[in-house]
Amino acid sequence: MVNRKDKRADKRLIELARAKAYEMGNLDYFDHVSPDGRTPHQWVRTSYSLPKYYPEQGNYIETIVGGVQDATEAYNTSIHKNHIQGRGLHASQSTVAVGFAQVKGSRYQYYWVFWSVP
pLDDT by residue (tens digit) across 83-113?
A: 666 666 566 777 889 999 999 999 999 999 9
CATH number for 8-117 (one of 2.60.40.10, 3.60.10.10, 3.40.33.10, 3.40.50.970): it is 3.40.33.10
What phi-psi label fits residue 110: left (phi over 0), alpha (psi between -120 and 50 degrees) or beta?
beta
Q: Which residues contact 12 (CB under 8 A, 6 or more apart)?
A: 47, 48
pLDDT digits (tens, 9 = 90+) for 14-64: 999 999 999 999 999 999 999 999 999 999 999 899 999 999 998 888 999
pLDDT digits (tens, 9 = 90+) for 62-83: 999 999 999 888 888 766 676 6
* Calpha distance 8→22 (Å, rounded): 23
Report the pLDDT value the prediction gives residue 4, as an integer from 0 to 100: 46
